[in-house]
Chains A and B, each alone.
Chain A
Amino acid sequence: MRTEIGLLRTMLLIRRLEAAWAEAYARDEIGGIPPALSTGQEAVSAGACAALEPGDVVFTTHRGQAPQVARGLDPTRIMAELYGRRTGYNKGKSYHVTDVSRGVIGMGGIVAAQVPVAAGMALAQKLRGTDRVSLVFFGDGAANEGAVHESANLAAMWTLPLILLCENNGYCISQPVAVAVKAASIADRAAAYGLPGALVDGNDPLAVRDAVAAAVARARAGGGTTLVEARTVRLGGHLAHDPQHYRSREEIAAAWEACPIKRFRARLAAAGLLTEEASARMEAEIEAEIAAAVEFARQSPVPEPREAFEDLWA
């Protein structure tokens, strides 16, 4: 998935999988909390995860589907979890999908809670003498939680193999980042922690991949933690039901103009890397893959009531 075409495929797969989830919610096939989509933010996860190796561990946010797909999790089992089925990765217990075997830990419930935990995983990776790294996603909103500041300082002091990846999509639910963060950037905070910091275009998967790859190389070589801020734009609502009354039509339309998939596809076409036919074939394949995932989820059994009492203790 590291090739340009692979990155595009990942981004499209994220977009389509999430759209299918939102459609299922809209049809009332899925109840409960509305889907949290990464529409417009796909390049961040696709690029970041392309810089990782097996054994590296990623900690996700409440917008976890993008990194799940980017790390190669099985769309059928992701979808089954989102449908609350026992064939889902978490057996219907939580829509924040985890696949330990692929190094994806889903920690969506409490904003920023995953950041100290990721630092601890990085500590374990270091103490156990591996050259593996941890990467933690957190939002611009999460960046204002004490947990992030405490962890950044700890990771800096202990030279942990950690990538702090701030996915700045411009909003914390309805609150624009401009009224939540006084400073010009979150990446600038790195200096205060004594860490290297980088600000990248989060709508460019190659830029994200390269920035994260440099951070990963530093971490593997014992150089410690890097703070990367990827600037992107949330194209949809905070959750799928959000009517976004706090955003103007013009703002949303302009954001769609900068859609990372549209942009990257045009770039690959211009570079001669993607023909019309190849693009159409890729879309058709993804369409079929997601349709199969939805069908699998629909056909899967719901959990038995007694399963509510399983898995609490190790």
Chain B
Amino acid sequence: MSRFDRKLFRPGGAVKPEEREWPSIRGAINEAMREEMRRDPTVFQMGEDIAGAPPFGVTTGLAAEFGLERVRDTPCSEVAVVGAAVGAALGGMRPIVEFQFGDFLSVAIDQLTHQAALLRYLTGGQVRVPLVIRLPCGGGQGTGAQHAQSLYSWFAHAPGIKVALPATSLDAKGLMKAAIRDDNPVLFFEHKALYRTRWPVPPEFQDPDHVIPFGRAAIRRAGDDLTVVATLTMVHHALAAAEALAAEGISVEVVDPRTLVPLDRETIVGSVRKTGRLLAVDEAYLTCGIQGEILALVTERAFGALKAPPRRLGNPGVPVPFAPPLEDAVLPDAGRIAAAIRAMVTP
């Protein structure tokens, strides 16, 4: 996977011949939503421009198939829209809300963290709030601080919200279907740099009932010397690093949790018990970030298995800057992951 190409808004190049049969992540999310809207008439969509000019093309064609009642362009009123999704969910619907950039969820956080997320608990389990909020995220595209963050740690921190992060087309489709069918609020983080990427899929990709359950990590590459836990683009950066390090005789296991809430603790802990070393990598801000949660989990549950102090990579805590050299300086990548791994395995 290429480093940061900053071509998000440019026309895509020709699809490589070997990738022609592979679905893109954008297409996979679209397909999952289309199938679920066909299957369940209570599923509907709200978002800015999702019918008229779909941002990043994820909702392309849905308005034509399902009409403007079910694919609703909203005014620029995020508090009202997220709140309306909560209310519609209480009223028996299954709303999907798109934010053009996930960072903008900040405007409507109360409706999520204090309404959607708490209502079931505070009513003693009387109500259900099944909604999905789709949040394009991530940096490396030269889009500046409010369009480039990876803020899932904020929401993994809050009780009552599930958090999904698909890194491949199969996962994008299967996790989206699980999200829509889930009876709880789900945040679905989509990395902008992955939208166009295409990934090979097994035949079950076509099965409209192939759902990827939340809380099951994927081992993307097996290895013996060190475990990397990574999500979204960092999965692919970690795989690139692992490939490079294999040539140096270092064997890296790459674990992709796929959902942060619920988190597949068993797979992560099991992997580190085997390898004895842990590196958690993410674009998230390091302080109180998801990387720290993974380190805490492993040190609590597998301290005795650790052969080296666990490490984490992430944004050290500065807003993602606009100018490319500045943005490069704050985001992890394959090179930095490889360097960290080398330092950890070399005595």
Contacts and interface: CB of A to CB of B under 8 A. Distances in A.
A110 B107 CA distance: 8
Given A93-B319, A305-B325, A308-B327, 17 more contacts: A31-B7, A32-B6, A32-B141, A33-B142, A33-B143, A33-B147, A92-B325, A95-B322, A109-B147, A110-B104, A147-B107, A172-B75, A175-B49, A180-B75, A242-B53, A303-B326, A308-B318
Given A95-B144, A306-B329, A144 B322 contact: no
A141 B75 contact: yes
A179 B73 contact: yes
A239 B9 contact: yes
Interface in B1-15: 6-10
A112 B76 contact: yes
B23 interface: no
Among A86, A93, A179, the one with the most B-chain Cβ atoms within 10 Å of its Cβ is: A93
27 contacts: A31-B7, A31-B142, A31-B324, A32-B6, A32-B8, A32-B144, A33-B141, A86-B323, A90-B322, A92-B323, A93-B323, A94-B145, A94-B322, A95-B322, A110-B146, A146-B79, A174-B52, A175-B75, A181-B75, A239-B9, A241-B9, A245-B53, A307-B326, A308-B318, A308-B326, A309-B329, A312-B319
Contacts of B322: 32, 84, 90, 92-95
B328 A305 contact: yes
Report whether over half of chain B's contact residues are helix, strand or loop; otherwise say mixed.
loop
Report whether over half of chain A's contact residues are helix, strand or loop; otherwise say mixed.
loop
Among B76, B147, B327, the one with the most A-chain Cβ atoms within 10 Å of its Cβ is: B76
B225 interface: no
Interface residues of B, number: 42
Interface of B: 6-10, 48-49, 52-53, 55, 73, 75-80, 103-104, 106-107, 141-147, 316-319, 321-330
A302 B325 contact: yes
A110 B99 CA distance: 12
B324 A93 contact: no
A277 interface: no
Contacts of A246: 52-53
A119 interface: no
A5 B249 CA distance: 72
Contacts of A309: 316, 318, 329
A53 interface: no
A304 interface: yes
A147 B144 CA distance: 22
A159 B78 CA distance: 28
Nearest to B53: A174
A94 B107 CA distance: 20
Given A144-B75, A175-B52, A85 B323 contact: yes
A49 B329 CA distance: 38
A85 B322 CA distance: 10
Given A32-B322, A302-B325, A173 B53 contact: yes
Nearest to A172: B76
B323 A96 contact: no
Contacts of A295: none
Contacts of B145: 93-94, 109
Nearest to A85: B323
Nearest to A142: B76
B176 to A, nearest CB: 24
A113 B108 CA distance: 12
B143 A308 contact: no
A244 B197 CA distance: 25
Contacts of B144: 32-33, 94-96, 109
A306 B316 CA distance: 12
A154 interface: no
A224 B142 CA distance: 40
